[in-house]
Amino acid sequence: MEWIPITEEGFITESAIVTQLINNRSKSIVTIGLPGWGHYNDTIAYMPLPRPINVDGYGWKSEYKGDELPQIKGSYIVQIQGTTKERQGITHIIEAYFETEKERWMRTPNGFEVIAWRRFPKPFSNEQK
């Protein structure tokens, strides 16, 4: 997928992967942005979230496919799935942090497990316009 620059008046209308400027606009990060994010909070570009692994497995890694857990600690795009009776069949795509020393996912809601993950893309840069 490719980055879509956000115009001065523009904003995203659904959750998406975004490039956001931080530290007085001197550094960019990639995260998952929420509907309504735009230039007012220094979001400069976006791309749609990836399709779930059960719809399009391209780019996803999963223990269920025989992949090893990530070898690098950090934030990832993850697909989570409900593990309790109340959450059975519910899936979401969110950002989670993988802690390599403990080999576990952090920042995931209770009652859900990570079933797939992928790295975030490199941040948008003005050279990509």
Percentage of the chain surpassing pLDDT 70? Answer: 98
pLDDT of amino acid 82: 96
Q: How confident is the model at residue 1 (pLDDT cuts 50, 70, 90)?
A: confident
Q: pLDDT digits over 71-88, tens only?
A: 999 999 999 999 999 999
Helix or strand (DSSP H, E) at 45? strand 43-48
What residue ranges do the domains of the chain occupy? Answer: 4-49, 63-118
Report the pLDDT averaged over residues 14-32.
94
Q: What is the mean pLDDT of the chain?
A: 94
Give CA–CA dist 33/43, Å, rounded: 8
Amino acid at 59: G
Checking if the pLDDT of 12 tops 70, the result is yes
Whole-model pTM: value is 0.91
